[in-house]
Chain A
């Protein structure tokens, strides 16, 4: 890079483009009945920032809500299909064999369709967990700042 900087700084181009896109999106949302609070471009930009940040922090291990929800078996999606049987050892083995070798190949398309949708739903859940967490953080910080101001 020369000392005079690039001939065309892409950051500047993208900032302009993204601003234009954001404004168009804001208008569309308002036309379809979104809150009038979004008429203020600054409010819209801030809302977008918070949600975008949240959506980029969806790793399960970075989220608090899964811990607070307790027993994962009561809320977590299980995209993987476990083939099992509650019968005695011999019968169970036979039933598992039939399920695995006969039923599964026949139902493979249905399993894959459901699996993909479960995975998508799981992603949406994680994004929503992350959004709630981000809003809770913002709320906690605002409460703290408000308390400081009151003092």
Chain B
């Protein structure tokens, strides 16, 4: 098949979750298909400033065509518009204006879809919230496959999404919770659809618990409660700090909270909180091999790769239960405990540290879940099956393609 993948940013040096998901799928799909990535020249996800040259290039065997961003994101206008459309019953025009302000504003990409969209068998779009996917899907709706990467954040409540989510010819979801959320917004079950998640490679022999790499950076006392990823308010880190400090103040165990990721907010100065900043893959693996538990405090997730990475290393998780995706994943995997308050956080952490053997079994259960659901051959088989189904169904009535692929297990 001739496939186009549309995503707001693309490149090996782009760290975003949906962007990485697109790149990993595009590279694997390109083994069997003619794949072209249609993206922007942006690198910075805040301003969308043009950083890459416009035009065609080739990255890891994938054809990439970049289109310039017409103007950087106007942060003040975007913040004001967000306040307006999220808090009130704003008109459809104002809600569409929000998608324009969110950007990256790339009209040339839409022009390309208008002019050449029919040359692709299918066009796969990532992340409904960004301009290319929001305005691109309607242009090629009959051949569009949407990877919404939807979270339970304010944007999902916008009225205009009810019609939008019904437009694509097929859907690739990351979790059952995401499928439920998007279907609820559309007002009906969306089909054909597949829950595909994302793939992970098995952990190498060098990073098993029996072969632990020594301390990364400053000396860190055990036991380690590990946080992986950007240290950011949007990831729930400010609440994590509050809960962890309260846990220690109330005589909770002697864990050390280790933060492995770039800090975007101030980190409390406390002997039991160690911020390592950005860490390389080897350090990350060493930390995972040593961690007694992985904490995932984010209130919004469509799929937590950090959680899957933790389970890939057999580390039990402690997740924010207010996030349906995290709580659902932890429950399905039998791989972690969830909390919804400071007291539940403290009780969960104490339990994981006090029951070392049981906690390890929970971590192992998490790894078994990753083995079942998140290895690349499993993921790609689901993706390929869905794409073939959509391609075969194109041109027939939508209600003739009403059988979704298995929604279980992922």
Contact = CB atoms under 8 A, between A and B. Distances in A.
Given A17-B351, A60-B157, A10 B344 contact: no
B49 to A, nearest CB: 21
Contacts of A151: none
Interface in B334-349: 334-338, 340-341, 343-344, 347-348
B334 A76 contact: no
Interface in A1-60: 1, 6-11, 13-14, 17-18, 20-21, 24-25, 52, 56, 59-60
Given A14-B337, A14-B338, A20-B347, A7 B365 contact: yes
Given A7-B361, A72-B88, 17 more contacts: A1-B334, A8-B358, A9-B334, A10-B337, A11-B331, A13-B351, A13-B358, A14-B337, A14-B348, A20-B347, A21-B341, A59-B157, A60-B88, A76-B87, A78-B83, A79-B83, A119-B83
A51 to B, nearest CB: 12
B2 to A, nearest CB: 39
A9 B341 CA distance: 21
Contact of A24 (B89, B343, B348): B343
Given A18-B344, A60-B157, A80 B84 contact: yes
Contacts of A21: 341, 343-344, 347
A144 to B, nearest CB: 27
A122 interface: yes
B89 A17 contact: no
B351 A79 contact: no
B87 A10 contact: no
Contacts of A87: none
6 contacts: A10-B337, A17-B347, A18-B344, A25-B343, A60-B88, A119-B83
Contacts of A56: 322
A79 B87 contact: yes
A57 B365 CA distance: 32
A79 B330 CA distance: 36
B contact face: mostly helix, strand, loop, or mixed: helix
Nearest to A119: B83
Interface of B: 79-80, 83-84, 86-89, 157, 159, 322, 330-331, 334-338, 340-341, 343-344, 347-348, 351, 358, 361-362, 365
Which of A6, A8, A81 gathers most chain B CB within 10 Å? Answer: A8
A117 B7 CA distance: 35
A6 B334 contact: yes
A86 interface: no
B331 A8 contact: no
A24 B343 CA distance: 9
B80 A61 contact: no
Contacts of A81: 80
Which of B87, B88, B347, B358 gathers most chain A CB within 10 Å? Answer: B87
Contacts of B83: 78-80, 119
A131 B380 CA distance: 44
A17 B348 contact: yes
Contacts of A61: 89, 157, 159
Contacts of A122: 87
Contacts of A24: 343
B189 to A, nearest CB: 20
Contacts of A9: 334
Contacts of A59: 157
Contacts of A76: 87-88
Contacts of A20: 347
Contacts of B336: 10
A86 B362 CA distance: 64
A20 B341 CA distance: 13
Contact of B344 (A1, A17, A79, A119): A17
Given A9-B334, A13-B351, A25-B343, A60 B358 contact: no
B54 to A, nearest CB: 32
Nearest to B352: A13
A122 B330 CA distance: 31
Contacts of B80: 80-82
A84 to B, nearest CB: 12
Contacts of B87: 60, 76-77, 79, 122
Nearest to B350: A17
Contacts of A79: 83, 87
Nearest to B358: A8
Contact of B334 (A10, A17, A18, A52): A10
A52 B321 CA distance: 12
B366 to A, nearest CB: 10
Contacts of A52: 340
A9 B361 CA distance: 10
A8 B361 contact: yes
